[in-house]
Homo-oligomer: A and B are copies of this chain.
Amino acid sequence: MAADLSTTSYALLGLLALDPDDPAEGLTGYELKQRCDFTMRYYWVSPATSQIYTELARLDRLGLVDVTEEGTGRRSTRRYALSDAGRERLLTWLTTSEPDFPVLKHPVALRLMFGHMVEPEQVERWLATYIAQLEERTTELRAVREMLGDDARLRSPARVAEWGLAYFASERAISEDLRKQVADGDGGPVT
């Protein structure tokens, strides 16, 4: 019993806890995936659709979610809502577990590490592309932030969105600085 859940499981429980469509109707796996894409991916991950369903089945087996089945036709639609046990479990995790230090997988920084092997133009391309992607993500996340508004119940997610925006801004500044360094001839392959 109480087999330990992965952090992703807790993240899903958390999303269910945040469900704003109050009257405990719950969310479908499909909707959950959308919410992951919408916010969670910025500072955790957005699990594959198939994993969401697998995870929901597990949470159901453990009694941490309440399932409502709407049998429309031959195929059913399941809505998942946080159960009392689920809420308690989430709360226990929040109050007793020690958060690990963040893990960053940064393919641009990794490549930059070997920048001495390629032309400086290549390094500039990496950085330029990254900066463009940062701009896109920033626009998206800004929209998320705005959608969260000033609702007191959504203050925490809103704060996290702001954290993300600050992070993107910092990444942008660093990347632009590096780009300038490289453009100023301070790089290139060492033969």
Contact = CB atoms under 8 A, between A and B. Distances in A.
Interface stretch (A21-29, A49-57, A67-75, A126-134): A126-134
B159 A114 contact: no
| Interface bracket on A | 35 or more
Given A18-B114, A43-B109, A43-B110, 10 more contacts: A14-B114, A17-B117, A39-B113, A43-B104, A99-B108, A99-B111, A99-B129, A100-B107, A101-B133, A112-B163
Contact of A160 (B90, B102, B109, B118): B109
B99 A102 contact: no
Contacts of A163: 109, 112, 174, 178
A110 to B, nearest CB: 5
A143 interface: no
Which of A39, A160, A164 has the most chain B CB within a 10 Å cutoff? Answer: A160
Contacts of A18: 113-114
A106 B43 contact: yes
A58 interface: no
A159 B174 contact: no
A152 B190 contact: yes
A48 to B, nearest CB: 14
A3 B96 CA distance: 44
A187 B160 CA distance: 13
Q: Sort A-B residue pairs by CB-CB distance and give the 10 closest, nearest first.
A: A170-B170, A99-B107, A43-B109, A115-B156, A43-B106, A102-B106, A103-B105, A116-B156, A14-B114, A166-B174
Contacts of A130: 99, 101
A165 B45 CA distance: 24
A170 B178 contact: no
